[in-house]
Structure 1
Amino acid sequence: MSSLDEAVAAVEAAVSARDIPQLEAGYEALRSVPRDEFMARSPEMGPRLAGLLSGMPVWHASVYAVAVGALVEWQADATACAPAILDGLRDSLAGAVEFARLWHEKFADEELPDPHGMPSADVQDPAWHTVDKWEMASVAVLADARVRRAVTNRAELLALIDQLEPDYGSLACVQRALLLLDDEPLLVLDRASGRAFRMRMSGIADNFQLQTMMAGVLIGGGHLPGEAPSPEALALCTADHIDVNAARALPPTSRAFNFVTPAGQWIWSEGVPSDIPVVDGIRRLVLDPPPYQHSFGAGRFFPRVPGRLDLEAVLEPADAAPYFADVQEALSVTDSVQR
């Protein structure tokens, strides 16, 4: 029996016996396994360890969940590992929300404990200290589009995140992972040319990424005038695999468009594609020229999630005109913020 088999067998025995010291010893044994062996056997070990999470104490489950997330990044099947991890995320978020509520009731304005520390006697609900670990594990499985499509309680998870963030701090990673759109139809209206473009987007984490990809499709494809992004910039947004270390030096690209809703409000580059409103059953985006020059580093928020933006049809002005009928002039920056 290999060292990895021995370590996992010890963890299984610890969970069965509810033996916490043995469970902790099993984790240390796993950490001592050579990385190459763990990576090679990740397809087998990821689901095997994920199946043990529900039988572990709250804190220990979150620590093991991070290990499962790493195995998913090393080729373990995300769909097999995701149910246990996303259940853990939900329970952790709900527990942390309740902990914060009770803390405020008891201690009023006293500062909450550091959520990134170790559980202590002062914090009776360990969920408060597990959220960041479940976030890491959840982002790993949500990088797989099959997992994202299977999530049935997305609205509940996002609502819990919204409730928790004021007390806990940013949970942008898991929030953006849950907000990723897949095979999402998009109708793009270019105000200057009067043309419309039927598109479909997947795996785009923020509107900076969408800006780069939109310019690549519409300007690079010869449909609109302007300066197209470099091949390097587009590759960082769309390639199946990218070198994370190389991606740290992001190639600069210029904002080609100002994103606007049909009602005239700006859609900020710092936002996400799900900010684009749905009108008559399809997300509808208006393109205006950028009001000022702005450059940013092209890339993507999730290295393991390639973005896709497919052009499905081009509507010339006569065919596009009905879609412009209710489009409003863009508001000023101030008015857009106030609304």
Structure 2
Amino acid sequence: MPSEIPRLVGDLVTQMTSGSAPAYRTAMKRLAQAARAGGPETLTATVEALAPLLPGLSGDFAMTAVLAGACVEWGASPMALAEVLPRRASEAMMFNGVVPELWDKAARGRPLPEPESASAEDLVRTLTGPRRWRRGVDRNTMTRIAKSWFDMEDWLKALITVMADADFRAVVPDDVKAELREHAAAVAHRSQRAAWAGALAAVLDEEPLVVVDPRTHQGYALTMSGVGDNGQLHILLADRLVGDPGHGMVAGDRPARSWVEAATSGNPRLSPDAPAIRRFRLFDGQGAYVGPEGVPADIAPLDGTRVLVLHPPNGDYALGVGRVFEHMTPTLRLDRILHPAETKRWLARVAPAVENDLMAD
């Protein structure tokens, strides 16, 4: 580890222990400057030094997680955060979800402070007071619950950065991802970052996908990773499958290069005058409509495999964004065209499309 980093991290811990917010911010700035000036090795060393601190932090000091996430954006490996950051962010969302109910019981009609307000001390003092409604919750836990109202977004900023990395996602246990999705769903109505965190926790990697076209009786085996939503999947499927029917591909107009770039590595936002146009409608193997607004994890498996059934588009359905997560690299690999007998077996198993959904247009 670069010699300067332990000293600067030690100074940061000292300032956190002292409780001095200005001194903490100064120590953070010095550590950030040194880490960034040192390059990837120093950045990774900084993340490794900060990771053990995160589980015990809350309130203003949750900004330490934001610094760790910034180091990853600047070139550090995120792997040292895998055991601590997803769990701490999940806890912050879980705690945040119960704050309104607890405040209603404790505050006697006073309005709940806005998360961006300067009323953190009042909220903590109110929720940690000697009230019977606390029902045995210890003061330290109640303090963390109260501070989650103000610090959750800091944990989510860092989490969103690292969850865009495929290697990082691969080492986060499935039960932790499930908890992230559960707690994110509970607070997503008031936090866009929570909605993003839940979506990232649901991202599929190295996931088999079968696509069948009832019109031509063609089928395709693909593998997808890092696809953030079904709108992106629509664009990538069109890029992989639309081509010469004489070579077993799907007939139709190829997607514009700008659409594919927006869905992969270019600017994710498309011009309002030149949006991506959906090339087909998608239904899953059980007949349910697969809208562009959902995520691939919502595609219900059929006998253990996610199956998509291609249907012609009804009109021009425009997509203004190629991908939701700019720094997450997607892959959709066409592994092979299915043998006619395989396609026939899949087509015999899929349910008829249920086209009574008003959005299935």
TM-score bracket for this pair, using the shorter chain length? 0.7 to 0.9
Equivalent in the alignment of 2:25? 27
Q: Secondary structure at the match of 2:55?
A: helix
Q: Which consecutive unaligned segments of at least 5 residues does structure 1 have?
A: none
* TM-score of the superposed pair, with normalisation by structure 1: 0.86
Pairwise CA RMSD of aligned residues?
A: 2.8
Q: CA separation of 1:2/1:323 partners in 2, compared to 1, >3 Å: closer, same or farther?
A: closer
Match of 2:307 in 1: 284
1:235 pairs with 2:261: yes
Alpha-carbon contact 2:184-2:195 (below 8 Å) kept: no
Aligned partner letter, 1:236: A
Q: Find the residue that maps to 1:259 and give its secondary structure.
A: strand
Q: Closer, same or farther in 2 for the Cα pair 1:49/1:81, shift >3 Å?
A: same
Larger CA deviation: 318-327 vs 274-283: 318-327
Change (3 A) 1:327 1:29: same
Q: Measure the CA separation in 2 of the matches of 1:194 and 1:44.
A: 54
Distance 1:332 1:247, change over 3 A: closer
The 5-angstrom pairing of residues 14-93 of structure 1 reads: 14-15=15-16, 18-21=17-20, 24-31=22-29, 33=33, 36-37=36-37, 41-56=42-57, 58-93=58-93
Compute the displacement of 1:225 (Å).
0.8
TM-score normalised according to structure 2 size:
0.81
2:161 is the counterpart of 1:140: yes
Output the CA distance in 2 between the equivalents of 1:218 and 1:183.
19
What per-residue deviation string (whole Å, max 9, x for no partner) do you get for residues 105-164 of structure 1? 456997643224445233221111111111110011111112212222111221112223
Aligned residues: 328
Q: Distance in 1 between matches of 2:28 and 2:191?
A: 30
Secondary structure of the corresponding residue to residue 83 of structure 2: helix
Distance 2:69 2:329 in 1: 18
2:242 aligned partner: 219
**Contact kept? 2:96, 2:149, Cα under 8 Å:** yes
Deviation at 1:55, TM superposition (A): 4.1
Q: 1:1-339 maps to which residues of 2 (within 5 A)?
A: 7-15=8-16, 18-21=17-20, 24-31=22-29, 33=33, 36-37=36-37, 41-56=42-57, 58-106=58-106, 112-124=112-124, 125-152=146-173, 153-166=176-189, 171-220=194-243, 223-239=249-265, 242=266, 246-249=267-270, 252-334=275-357
Percentage of matched positions with identical amino acids: 27
CA contact (8 A) 2:263 2:322 kept: yes
- C-alpha separation between the residues in 2 aligned to 1:192 and 1:67? 53
- Tell me which moved more, 210-219 or 147-156: 147-156
Shift in CA distance, 319/52, structure 1 to aligned 2, threshold 3 Å: closer
